[in-house]
A and B are shown apart, each in its own frame.
Chain A
Amino acid sequence: MRRLAARAAFVGLALGAWQVASSLATSRVLLPPPADVLAWVGRAAADGTLAASALVTLRRLAVGYLLGLAVGLPLGVLCARWRLAEDTVGLAAVGVQSLPSVCWAPLAMLWFGANERAMLFIVLMGTVGSIVLATAHGIRSVPSIYARAARTMGSKGLHTWTSVIVPASMPAVVAGMKQAWAFAWRSLMAAEIYVVVAGHAGLGLLLHYGREFHAMDQVLGVILLIVTLGVAFDRLLFAPVEAALHRRWGTGRTP
Chain B
Amino acid sequence: MSGSVDRELSPAPPLKLSLRGVRKSYVGRAGPVLAVDGIDLDVSEGEFVCLVGPSGCGKSTLLSLVAGLERPDGGAVLADGKPVVGPGRERTMMFQEHALFPWRTVEGNVRFGLELKEGLDRATRGEVAEHYLRLVGLEGFRRAWVHELSGGMRQRVALARALAPNPRVLLMDEPFAALDAMSRERLYEDLQRIFAARRTTVLFVTHNVREAACLGDRIVVMSARPGRVVGEVRVALPRPRDINRSDVVEHAREVTRLLSVPAGAAS
Contact = CB atoms under 8 A, between A and B. Distances in A.
Interface of A: 145-146, 148-156, 159, 163-164, 167-168, 170, 247-250
Point out which of A145, A151, A168 has the most chain B C-beta atoms below 10 A from its C-beta: A151
Task: Identify the 10 closest CB pairs spanning chains A and B, nearest first.
Answer: A250-B147, A153-B113, A154-B89, A167-B103, A154-B116, A151-B87, A149-B99, A152-B93, A145-B99, A152-B87
A248 B113 contact: no
B116 A153 contact: yes
A150 to B, nearest CB: 7
Given A145-B95, A250-B145, A154 B103 contact: no
Contacts of B95: 145, 148-149
A213 B196 CA distance: 86
Interface string B107-131: 0000011011100000000000000
Contacts of A156: 86-87
A168 B100 CA distance: 11
A248 B89 CA distance: 26
A153 to B, nearest CB: 4
Contact of A249 (B67, B89, B147, B161): B147
B102 A250 contact: yes
A148 B103 contact: no
Contact of A168 (B67, B93, B101): B101
Contact of B89 (A146, A148, A152): A152
A249 B103 CA distance: 7
Point out which of B87, B89, B148 has the most chain A C-beta atoms below 10 A from its C-beta: B87
A143 B162 CA distance: 19
A159 B89 CA distance: 14
B145 A248 contact: yes
A249 B69 contact: no
Nearest to B87: A151
Given A154-B89, A164-B101, A148 B147 contact: no
Interface in B171-203: 171
A152 B103 contact: no
Contact of B112 (A150, A247, A249): A150
B165 interface: yes
B91 interface: yes
Contacts of B45: none
